[in-house]
A = this chain, B = another copy of it.
């Protein structure tokens, strides 16, 4: 099937479960399911429109609770065939929702503080959730190669999922990436192509490839498969609510890179309400950025509806998108729900990584430092109510961003005897 950037031809025979069509987020124009991502009418982003009308709430709840311990327990709510759990895939999700009582004490939260710890996914970041969706879309559209541009988590997630699911993979990265990151992406044995240029050059090249016959049969997980891929983030909302006993938390703190994750979590919560799986109650969504890449936070604070692009300069590289596509939607959601968007300095990010590790034994990626740091700041400035429940997302693993905390070291060095031990004051 040829790659298309704008919907026109489609394949109405694909079975992606409850996914009924693609619908433009801006103008509502609907097109049949296909490997397209931009509206032919207004160039707005296409999203999945579902038909959930056949579901009985209690039947659905029972089906989910009896499902597998991964995202496929929510297959009835995702653009995947009903038998998805039997197909080879990386099967992410159902990660721990940690009741963070020690951290709550430090931050003065009395209403219940939870960390949704997505470092428990197969390649240790939330990207496994979205890539697993893209795999099923790629299968439905007959693609044979999975691809993406990446500087980190996404490369590993695509490589691993393609290996398991039986796709060829071809991942494009800047050629001068750190050796550790290259190993993490290369180990899965797919094509790993270094591009002589920076990340912008890599992206530009990928866009060229999508429009060329050479890209035929290629699913770029976050480009031509983006409407499907993005839905993976909804599963974070589903899991959080189910793990809380089918309740929506009062407040959620979510990192912002492109902003897609935050908007899809909101979409997931709205779906659960409409389906009757959770009580309809107010909730506040807070977006978290690093100061060195804070276009949405700046727009929020200045009261703008549009997001002015920034040139990123932060240690939180997995969030370093200077021109976030879903920025305006994030602003809408923060304002609609009574939340906010806030940012923290790199120093606060490092402090927050250490705080989370010291209190809860969770070693987060820099993105987790951003959300924990922002949570602390929002409590201090009164925007988060500590008497109500808070869920903070950790979307990645500290082992992947060791450089950010490289200063952490030995607390003492002693000779191997008790005298030296006592001298060091350790007894």
We find that the number of chain A residues with CB closer than 8 angstroms to chain B is: 79
Contacts of A398 in B (CB 8 A): 184, 187
Contact B411 A192 (CB under 8 A): yes
Interface residues of A in 66-109 (CB under 8 A from B): 69, 88, 90-91, 94, 96, 101-102
Q: Mark A130-162, 1 if CB is under 8 A from B, else 0.
A: 000000000000000000000000001001111
Q: A120-B120, A195-B414, A399-B397 are in contact. Are A405 and B187 (CB under 8 A)?
A: yes
**A175 interface hit (Cβ, 8 Å):** yes
Contacts of A201 in B (CB 8 A): 416
Contacts of A359 in B (CB 8 A): 163
Nearest residue in B to A398 (C-beta to C-beta)?
Answer: B187
**A116 interface hit (Cβ, 8 Å):** no
Contact A361 B412 (CB under 8 A): no
Instruction: Out of B187, B193, B353, B416, name the residue touching A187 (CB < 8 Å).
Output: B353
Q: A180-B402, A188-B358 are in contact. Are A196 and B122 (CB under 8 A)?
A: no
Q: A160-B361, A183-B405, A183-B409 are in contact. Are A91 and B102 (CB under 8 A)?
A: no
**A123 interface hit (Cβ, 8 Å):** yes
Instruction: Give the distance in Å from the alpha carbon of A360 to the alpha carbon of B189 in the complex.
Output: 11
Contacts of A194 in B (CB 8 A): 410, 412-414
Contacts of A91 in B (CB 8 A): 96
Instruction: Out of B162, B205, B399, B426, name the residue touching A399 (CB < 8 Å).
Output: B399
Contacts of A90 in B (CB 8 A): 361
Contact B357 A416 (CB under 8 A): no
Contact B353 A202 (CB under 8 A): no
Max chain B C-beta neighbours (<10 A), residue from A88, A358, A408: A408
Interface residues of A in 392-425 (CB under 8 A from B): 397-400, 402, 405-406, 408-418, 421-422, 424
**A338 interface hit (Cβ, 8 Å):** no
**A377 interface hit (Cβ, 8 Å):** no
Instruction: Give the distance in Å from the alpha carbon of A357 to the alpha carbon of B171 in the complex.
Output: 16
**A179 interface hit (Cβ, 8 Å):** yes
Instruction: Out of B122, B123, B191, name the residue touching A411 (CB < 8 Å).
Output: B191
**A54 interface hit (Cβ, 8 Å):** no
Q: Mark A272-316, 1 if CB is under 8 A from B, else 0.
A: 000000000000000000000000000000000000000000000
Contacts of A400 in B (CB 8 A): 399
**A398: min CB distance to chain B, Å:** 6
Contact B193 A102 (CB under 8 A): no
Instruction: Give the distance in Å from the alpha carbon of A205 to the alpha carbon of B164 in the complex.
Output: 46
**A56 interface hit (Cβ, 8 Å):** no
**A62 interface hit (Cβ, 8 Å):** no
**22 pairs from A and B in contact (CB 8 Å cutoff):** A69-B69, A69-B94, A122-B362, A123-B361, A124-B124, A124-B397, A160-B357, A162-B361, A163-B357, A164-B360, A180-B402, A184-B402, A187-B354, A188-B357, A189-B357, A189-B358, A193-B410, A196-B414, A196-B415, A196-B416, A212-B418, A214-B418
Name A's B-contacting residues (CB within 8 A).
69, 88, 90-91, 94, 96, 101-102, 120, 122-124, 156, 159-164, 166, 170, 175, 179-180, 182-184, 186-197, 201-202, 204-205, 208-209, 212, 214, 353-354, 357-363, 397-400, 402, 405-406, 408-418, 421-422, 424, 426-427
Task: State the 6 A-B residue pairs at the shortest beta-carbon distance, nearest first.
Answer: A160-B361, A189-B358, A164-B361, A163-B361, A214-B427, A194-B413
